[in-house]
Amino acid sequence: MSAAPPATPLSDSDFHRLSHAVLQHIETTADRWLEDDVIDIDVHRTGGLLELSFPGGSKIVINTQPPLHELWLASKAAGQHFRHVEGRWIDTRDGHEFFAVLSTQASAQGGKALRFDPPV
């Protein structure tokens, strides 16, 4: 894929609302997986930082970056930055969609197919 198109302009309050909705949605999904015995995943959230801990000790960290209006994802595979483009969070370098990347990285680190869908 090519580089992401320019970010959709957001106010600070819109960025806060949208980015925190993403973190809440990820947290809710992971909690549901734990309750349904899909995977033993530990979720820890502090403000704009969400940490997912997988069996075996690996982690994925998602962090909001308010000054840049970006979401950052750090996993075993890479560190990536995402900006809001027309209702989706898109990687600033390669144009991949945030939830697709998160699903791929979580599946790799969790050792099973895990899918995070965007909030509706």
Residue-wise pLDDT for 76-88, tens only, equals: 999 999 999 999 9
For 89-110, what is each residue's pLDDT tens digit?
999 999 999 999 999 999 999 9
Take residue 114 and report the two structure tokens written for it: 């895990």
Mean per-residue pLDDT for 65-81?
96
Domain residue spans in the chain?
12-109
Q: Is 55 helix (H, G, I), strand (E, B) or coil?
A: coil
Angle CA 84–3–114, to nearest 5: 65
Residue 1 has pLDDT above 70, yes or no: no
What is the architecture, at CATH level 2, of domain 12-109?
2-Layer Sandwich (3.30)
* pTM for this entry: 0.94
CA-to-CA distance for 25 and 98, rounded, in angstroms? 13
The predicted structure's pLDDT at residue 5: 81
Q: Residues 85, 71: contact at Cβ < 8 Å?
A: no
CA-to-CA distance for 119 and 59, rounded, in angstroms? 22
